[in-house]
Amino acid sequence: MPPFRIVLILLCVAGIVLPMRYFLPWLSANDWDLMAMVDAWHVNDASSGLVWDLTVAALTLTVWSIWESIRTRRWIGLLAIPATYFVGVSLGLPLYLLLRRA
């Protein structure tokens, strides 16, 4: 297996484990209230800036993966879209790059 592929796989694992390490305990402690989590993300200007940064990155990845999937007729890259919105860009981007090279 090429080294770049191994790096992408490791980034996918990190992109799942690192965010979920914080999200799951927080959600569990707050009765799985997603709106409370959104409110917590906007507790100050710094965190709101990060939310918007990641939102633009997620939308960019979505547009890119749709555009390239239509252009190349390789639909496997579309799996990065739910990964991005259910976990985060930290999983969606390395997964997309991994699937793109598949």
Q: Compute the C-alpha angle 75/96/40, nearest 5°.
A: 120
Euclidean distance between CA atoms 29 and 100, whole angstroms: 37
Average model confidence (pLDDT) across the chain: 95
Predicted model pTM: 0.89
List C-alpha distances in Å: 6 to 2, 80, 94, 95, 102: 7, 18, 11, 12, 13
Look at residue 41 in the predicted model and tell me its pLDDT: 94
Output the six-digit token pair for 83: 């990964």
| pLDDT tens column, 1-12 | 899 999 999 999
